[in-house]
Amino acid sequence: MIGIVDYGMGNLLSVFNAFEYLGLSVKICSKPEDLSQVDRIVLPGVGAISQCILKLNESGFTEALNEQVLQLAKPTLGICLGMQVMAKQSFEGGTHTCLGWFDADVVRLNPGNSTLKVPNIGWNTIQFDKQIPLFKGLPENSDFYLVHSYQVQVRHEAERVATYQHGETVTAAIMKDNIFATQFHPEKSQDLGLTVLENFINWKP
Amino acid sequence: MSKKRLIPKLQLATSRNNPNKLVVVITKQFGDKIEIGDPVSQSKIFQDQSADELIFLNIESNTNNIKTLSEVIAKVSEEIFMPMTVGGGVASDDDFRLLLSHGADKISINTKAVESPEFITEMSNKYGAQCVVVSIDYKKEADGSFQVYTQGGTLATGIDPIQWAIQAEALGAGELLLTCIDHDGMRNGLELQVPSSLVQQVNIPVICGGGCGLAKHFSDAFLLANVEAVCAGSFFAHRDQNLIQTRSQIFNAGVEIRMQN
């Protein structure tokens, strides 16, 4: 069973519907102890990082996630803000300490060209590491939907498994051990997005 | 860099035959509603034709309809895996939460934003700027100036759309949705004066809509006004020609849009 962390931030229903559409049994985990009943974890999220961290900490999810993801090594997928929160710290509206699963900072997009907008909203062609099982079956130049103003900058380049161009190279996905996370929204990227979610279901890290 | 987006706009209103049902309608200059179908089946067609995104606007601007609207969005999101902007009568944090929890990705606000500009900031801080789309309806006045209208195009505000859009960005809007009321449903091309000037003055994406009747009208907006996205309602409702063909024509005109899937 796949568990979606419900900590009061964002596009839970879309993620739920996408996995259900793929024929999976999905559990919405609204209490930290629910996580022990699932074997894969999805951490979604849309919104502001300060709220996100506050809610994870207040609800007790931070501790439970550290145990389930880091110690029990359950395959885990972060999406958008759910990816950013896996960094060490975020500079969105101040400095916020995050989960620290990746040695990474979250910094504002800086396209350095006034015709390129922030937030970047829309479909972008993603360059990805073809060796990664999570990108199996994707054609070259696959487009995915993104909507964000901040990006994850990893210190270990090997952890960055997908990028795209927006006046600068932007991190589109990161991976480490049993954790995979995307800045793009697979649940909003039509068929190619569903392919990534299906790959996650079958992923054996 | 994001590709340019084509966005079918589904305007919703209460069905004449069933007061509990919202149906897709098209309008002319914000009047004359014509019912054209069910939002769920229309959305599926647009998904099959690789629309980049969908906009749902409840044009009755009756806040009592937010719940009905959220139920429609929940149904759509069971089968549609693409971004959805939802709005029409949104006036509170509760409205935001209800629509987002039913599958909306972005919320469009209009009248409430003009009445209480601080609402933009509050929602932007709470849900992130990317979630807050400020929708601006405007008309060209007899003297050639442009003026913002609220309450479904019925109330003149005396506000200049470009000044208002710049202010909305400063207050925390993540995207701007421009609709020229005079051009709505007329299928004779988009008003491009306001969007082309605005695009150079803001840093957030600009969507414009109202008046698409030909593929050329889309490519004009992309190539001449340099907007990030064009939305259309009547165009996709009327034409035998579908989104896939329209896309090819726009692509061939030299606009970078998504061509796969």
Residue B63 is predicted with a pLDDT of: 53
Check CB contact of B83 with chain A, cutoff 8 Å.
Answer: yes
pLDDT at B62 over 70: no
What confidence category does residue B243 fall into, taking pLDDT thresholds of 50, 70 and 90? confident
Q: Quick check: B130 and A11 CB within 8 A?
A: no
- Among A10-14, A30-34, A178-182, which is the least confidently predicted range? A10-14
Determine the straight-line distance between the first and last CA of chain A, rounded to whole angstroms. Answer: 16
Question: H or E segment at A104?
Answer: strand A104-108
Residue B236 is predicted with a pLDDT of: 84
* Sequence-distant (≥ 6) Cβ neighbours of residue A159 within 8 angstroms: A102, A103, A104, A174, A175, A176
Residue A171 is predicted with a pLDDT of: 98
Residue A151 is predicted with a pLDDT of: 97
Cβ atoms of B208 and B178 within 8 Å: the answer is yes
Residue A45 is predicted with a pLDDT of: 79
pLDDT at A192 over 80: yes
Please state, in angstroms and rounded to a whole number, the distance separating the CA atoms of residues A191 and A189: 7
What confidence category does residue A19 fall into, taking pLDDT thresholds of 50, 70 and 90? very high
Question: H or E segment at A90?
Answer: strand A89-90
Contacts of A51 in chain B (CB under 8 A): 126
Residue B225 is predicted with a pLDDT of: 97
Residue B41 is predicted with a pLDDT of: 92
- For this structure, is A187 an active site residue? yes
If one compares A46 and B12, the residue with the highest pLDDT of the two is: B12
Q: What is the mean pLDDT of residues A13-42?
A: 95
In tens, the pLDDT along A66-100 reads: 999 999 999 999 999 999 999 999 999 899 999 99
Q: What is the mean pLDDT of residues B26-51?
A: 90
Of residues A29, A80, A96, A148, which has the active-site annotation?
A80
Of residues A52, A159, A185, A198, which has the active-site annotation?
A185
Q: Which of A19, A121, A126, A138 to mutate to test binding with chain B, by most B CBs within 10 Å of its CB?
A: A121
Residue A118 is predicted with a pLDDT of: 87
Q: Quick check: A119 and B204 CB within 8 A?
A: yes
Architecture of domain B5-252: Alpha-Beta Barrel (3.20)
pLDDT at A179 over 90: yes
- Rounded to 5 degrees, φ, ψ at B165 are -65, -40
Query: What are the C-alpha distances in Å from A64 to residues A67, A73, A78, B123?
Result: 5, 12, 15, 29
What confidence category does residue A10 fall into, taking pLDDT thresholds of 50, 70 and 90? low
Looking at the complex, report in whole angstroms how far the Cα of residue A96 sits from the nearest Cα belonging to chain B: 15
The catalytic residue positions of B are 137
Please state, in angstroms and rounded to a whole number, the distance separating the CA atoms of residues B45 and B79: 11
CA atoms within 13 A on the CB side of B181: 23
The pLDDT > 90 percentage for chain B reads 76
Contacts of A165 in chain B (CB under 8 A): 1
Helix (H, G, I), strand (E, B) or coil at A158: helix
A86 sits in the region (left: phi over 0; alpha: psi -120 to 50; else beta) called alpha
Nearest CB to A121; choose among B102, B175, B203:
B175
Longest dimension (CA), chain A: 48
Helix (H, G, I), strand (E, B) or coil at A137: coil
How many contacts (CB atoms, under 8 Å) link A and B? Answer: 125
Nearest to A152 by CA among A176, A123, A186, A188: A176
Please state, in angstroms and rounded to a whole number, the distance separating the CA atoms of residues B112 and B93: 12
Q: Which residue of A has its CA nearest to B78?
A: A17
In tens, the pLDDT along A105-152 reads: 999 999 987 788 888 989 999 999 999 999 999 999 899 999 999 999
Q: What is the mean pLDDT of residues B58-62?
A: 78
Question: H or E segment at A63?
Answer: helix A61-65
Query: What are the C-alpha distances in Å from B199 to residues A86, A120, B131, B194, B228?
Result: 34, 14, 19, 9, 9
Looking at the complex, report in whole angstroms how far the Cα of residue A116 sits from the nearest Cα belonging to chain B: 7
Angle, nearest 10°, between helix axes B39-48 and B66-77? 40
Helix (H, G, I), strand (E, B) or coil at A120: strand
Of A55-69, A108-122, B64-78, the range with the highest mean pLDDT is A55-69
Residue A23 is predicted with a pLDDT of: 93
DSSP codes, chain B: -PPBEEEEEEEEEE-SS-TT-EEEEEEETTEEEEEEE-HHHHHHHHHHTT-S-EEEEETT--GGGHHHHHHHHHHHHTT--S-EEEESS--SHHHHHHHHHTT-SEEEE-HHHHH-THHHHHHHHHH-GGGEEEEEEEEE-TTS-EEEEETTTTEE----HHHHHHHHHHHT-SEEEEEEGGGTTT-S----HHHHHHHTT-SS-EEEES---SHHHHHHHHHTS--SEEEESHHHHH-SS-HHHHHHHHHHTT--B----
Cβ atoms of B192 and B222 within 8 Å: the answer is no
- What letter does residue A24 receive in the DSSP assignment? -
- For this structure, is A98 an active site residue? no
Check CB contact of B2 with chain A, cutoff 8 Å.
Answer: yes
In tens, the pLDDT along B107-148 reads: 999 999 999 999 999 999 888 888 999 999 999 999 999 999
Please state, in angstroms and rounded to a whole number, the distance separating the CA atoms of residues B135 and B148: 10
Looking at the complex, report in whole angstroms how far the Cα of residue B257 sits from the nearest Cα belonging to chain A: 9
Nearest to A8 by CA among B171, B53, B93: B93
Contacts of A79 in chain B (CB under 8 A): none
- Among A33-37, B13-17, B180-184, B219-223, which is the least confidently predicted range? B13-17
Please state, in angstroms and rounded to a whole number, the distance separating the CA atoms of residues B68 and B86: 12
Q: What is the mean pLDDT of residues B192-212?
A: 96
**Residue boundaries of the structural domains of chain B:** 5-252
Determine the straight-line distance between the first and last CA of chain B, rounded to whole angstroms. Answer: 19
Q: What is the mean pLDDT of residues B226-249?
A: 84
B120 sits in the region (left: phi over 0; alpha: psi -120 to 50; else beta) called alpha
Check CB contact of B126 with chain A, cutoff 8 Å.
Answer: yes
Check CB contact of B256 with chain A, cutoff 8 Å.
Answer: no
Q: What is the token pair recorded at B148? A: 């913002």
- Could you report the predicted ipTM of this complex, rounded to two decimals? 0.86
What confidence category does residue A5 fall into, taking pLDDT thresholds of 50, 70 and 90? very high
Domains recognised in chain A with CATH numbers: 2-202 (3.40.50.880)
Contacts of A141 in chain B (CB under 8 A): 260
Please state, in angstroms and rounded to a whole number, the distance separating the CA atoms of residues B250 and B116: 38
Residue A47 is predicted with a pLDDT of: 77
Residue type for position A93: G
Helix, strand, coil abundance in chain A, percent, nearest 5 = 30, 30, 40
Residue type for position A167: G
Residue A115 is predicted with a pLDDT of: 80
